[in-house]
Amino acid sequence: TALFLPAPHPAPPVSAPAPPPSSALKLVLQPSFEAHARAAENLNVLWAAVLIEELRRGGLAHVVLCPGSRCAPLTVAVARSGLPHSLATDERGAAFLALGLARATGRCCAVLVSSGTAVANLLPAVV
Q: Which pLDDT belongs to residue 6? A: 45
| Cβ-proximal residues to 53 (8 Å cutoff; 6+ apart), any chain | 33, 36, 81
State if pTM tops 0.75. no
Query: Cα–Cα distance between 57 and 51 in angstroms, integer?
Result: 10
Beta strand 85-87 with 108-112: parallel, antiparallel or unpaired? unpaired
Q: Per CATH, is 30-126 categorized as 3.40.50.970?
A: yes
Tell me the C-alpha to C-alpha distance, in Å, between residue 21 and each of 17, 29, 33, 63: 12, 11, 13, 26
Q: Which pLDDT belongs to residue 90? A: 93
Q: Which pLDDT belongs to residue 44? A: 87
pLDDT (tens digit per residue) in 66-116: 988 888 999 999 999 999 999 999 999 999 999 999 999 999 999 999 988
Which of 10 and 23 is assigned the larger pLDDT?
A: 10
Distance of CA 11 to the CA centre of its chain: 33
Query: Cα–Cα distance between 84 and 90 in angstroms, integer?
Result: 19
